[in-house]
Amino acid sequence: MTTPTDPSSTAATQALIARRIRQDVQDMHAYAVQDASGMVKLDAMENPFSLPSALQEALGKRLGALALHRYPDARVNDLRAALAAFAGMPARYDIMLGNGSDELISLLSLACSRPMQPGQGGGGRPVVLAPVPGFVMYAMSAQLQGLEFVGVPLTADFALDVPAMVQAIAQRQPAIVYLAYPNNPTANLWDAGDMATVIAAAQQADSIVAVDEAYQPFSSRTYLDVIRARPAEHTHVLLLRTLSKFGLAGVRLGYMVGPAALVAQIDKVRPPYNISVLNYECALFALEYQDTFAAQAEEICAQRAILLEALRAMPGVLAWDSDANMVLMRCPAAAGGSIDAAQQCFDALKARGVLVKNVSKMHPLLAGCLRLTVGTAAENARLIRALQEILC
């Protein structure tokens, strides 16, 4: 009987992997989640506030009464209607739910992928295009579904490079253009005129535009207002949101709104029962108490301003304006482009019990940068004290 440590078993497994697992998957790195045990967790843009105790009790009773032995039922349509009302969905639009917005991104790629024909080779693949640095799942979902990812670098101050975007859209004719609004990890909103120009270029290329508003609860603007005002210019635009930043990261619930005919096509590749009874009941419950979550978002925005002020008082630190629940900072010793300063600062913070995200290796524009999630007042105070000890 072989065991997992048996060398012959390991060799056999490796041979199986080499023969049956796609080479590009073998070459990939899995999405990494940092161990946050015992740490002040400021690395994943989560809402730092737990559910108030009274609501915990009410939700527990509600979830306990669910028919967990049955598949999800038409109650999921109650959530679709509640989210449509919450978002102010335009007329003749529809809404589709996903197990987090990550699933919606994957399903959009799947709907736009094309099976490779015999003898076709690697050319002719549909293209997914997005500004970089940006959310890693745009590129990952494209690769996994056999699409080509094209990243267009931002400017040095993290604005859209509009001429480069327009040129890339015209040349590559992408199936999908992603525009995160605000962007991750830079946390900024794109200029309204720049957005209009890029979205118009995508319309000329018959590209689907996915405006990703994952951080909308903390943003000063929503692109949905532009869509409502000028619907004829946005017949190719989908809008993605998630309840993760609303305060339900553990529930895994994302939603996509767009022209009904377009959403209907993407919905065809959605797995049956992709939203569990626990998912949709938690989301419905949260929407009934949306004022509680709105107050939490307001407090996070207030704490964001305090964090930015403290960072900008530290010698040599560069911290960018934010419309999300995160702040991007560049460590002072990295002015020459070194990424070591970010790693040293990250390690020193971790040694002090504070976990943030080192993004300095994600893209050359992010050299020396850390991404800090905005936490509670106490968590932010601890982060600020630690940074002052390290940098000042």
Query: pLDDT digits over 249-293, tens only?
Result: 999 999 999 999 999 999 999 999 999 999 999 999 999 999 999
The band of 328, judged by pLDDT with boundaries at 50, 70 and 90, is: very high
Q: Which of 336, 352, 247 is nearest to 292 (CA)?
A: 247
pLDDT at 123 (0 to 100): 57
What does CATH list as the number for 25-52+291-391? 3.90.1150.10
Q: Which tens digits make up the pLDDT trace of 75-88?
A: 999 999 999 999 99
- Averaged over 316-330, what is the pLDDT? 96
Is-contact 373 45, C-beta < 8 A?
A: yes
What are the residues whose beta carbons fall under 8 Å from the beta carbon of 136, sequence distance 6 or more? 31, 362
Q: Which of 184, 183, 141 is nearest to 44 (CA)?
A: 184
| 272 backbone φψ class: left, alpha, beta (φ>0; ψ -120 to 50) | beta
> What Rg value do the Cα atoms of the chain yield, rounded?
22
pLDDT score of 120 more than 50: no
Q: Which amino acid is at 299?
A: E
Is-contact 92 126, C-beta < 8 A?
A: no
pLDDT at 6 (0 to 100): 60
pLDDT score of 122 more than 90: no
In the sheet with 318-319, reading across from the earlier edge strand, the strands are 318-319, 326-330, 369-373, 357-358
Q: Which tens digits make up the pLDDT trace of 188-232?
A: 999 999 999 999 999 999 999 999 999 999 999 999 999 999 999
What are the residues whose beta carbons fall under 8 Å from the beta carbon of 182, sequence distance 6 or more? 188, 189, 215, 219, 322, 323, 324
Percent residues over pLDDT 70 in the chain: 94
Q: Which of 389, 334, 392, 344 is nearest to 365 (CA)?
A: 334
Q: Which of 280, 264, 265, 248 is nearest to 68 (CA)?
A: 280
Among 109-123, 345-359, 372-386, which stretch is predicted with the lowest mean pLDDT?
109-123
pLDDT at 335 (0 to 100): 46
Q: Which tens digits make up the pLDDT trace of 345-366?
A: 999 999 999 999 999 999 999 9
Mention the CATH class of domain 67-288.
alpha beta
Domains in the chain: boundaries = 25-52+291-391, 67-288
pLDDT score of 1 more than 70: no
Q: Establish how many alpha carbons lie within 13 A of residue 370's alpha carbon, considering only the half-sphere containing its beta carbon.
A: 28
